[in-house]
């Protein structure tokens, strides 16, 4: 189970409901340049571990994991507060949380990876 739970039963209805309630989502001007794609198989193994923990609902290694990601940098598409959540991707040898994160959206399999602490993101393609 994902935290927050994914809306698999609602499918496209969740996106439609979100648009009706919050208005159409718009990306920040820098979003097109800063959001790319990455194949699941190209992620570091620690990102796979983090995605597995998210699917299992934890436990997470850091208290900040699962907290609301505010998207202050406005790199990801604009959504309502609480739509995105962040999780640490362990960086081997780092004494801190490091810069790598997975940020999830409420849509099924909407996972973003950042290796540079929110300066850029790649949408994870779970099909490759």
Q: Is the pLDDT of residue 16 over 70?
A: no
CA distances from 107 to 3, 5, 10, 18, 72 (A): 12, 9, 10, 10, 20
- Report, as residue numbers or ranges, the catalytic residues: 86, 117
Domains and CATH numbers, the chain: 35-125 (3.10.450.30)
* pLDDT over threshold 70, residue 71: yes
The pLDDT tens digits for 18-51 are 444 455 444 444 444 468 999 999 999 999 999 9
Q: What is the pLDDT of residue 57?
A: 94
pLDDT band at 107 (very low <50, low <70, confident <90, very high): confident
Give the pTM.
Answer: 0.74
Mean pLDDT (the chain) is: 82
């Amino acid at each position: 189970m994902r935290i927050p739970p994914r809306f698999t039963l609602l499918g496209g209805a969740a996106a439609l409901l979100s648009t009706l309630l919050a208005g159409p989502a718009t990306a920040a001007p820098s979003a097109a340049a800063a959001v790319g794609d990455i194949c699941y198989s190209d992620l570091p193994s620690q990102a796979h571990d983090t995605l597995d923990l998210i699917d299992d609902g934890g436990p997470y290694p850091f208290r900040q994991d699962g907290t609301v990601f505010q998207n202050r940098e406005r790199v990801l598409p604009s959504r309502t507060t609480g739509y995105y959540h962040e999780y640490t991707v362990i960086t081997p040898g780092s004494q801190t949380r490091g810069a790598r994160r997975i940020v999830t959206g409420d849509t099924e399999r909407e996972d973003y990876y950042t290796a540079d602490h929110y300066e850029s993101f790649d949408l994870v393609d779970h099909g490759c």
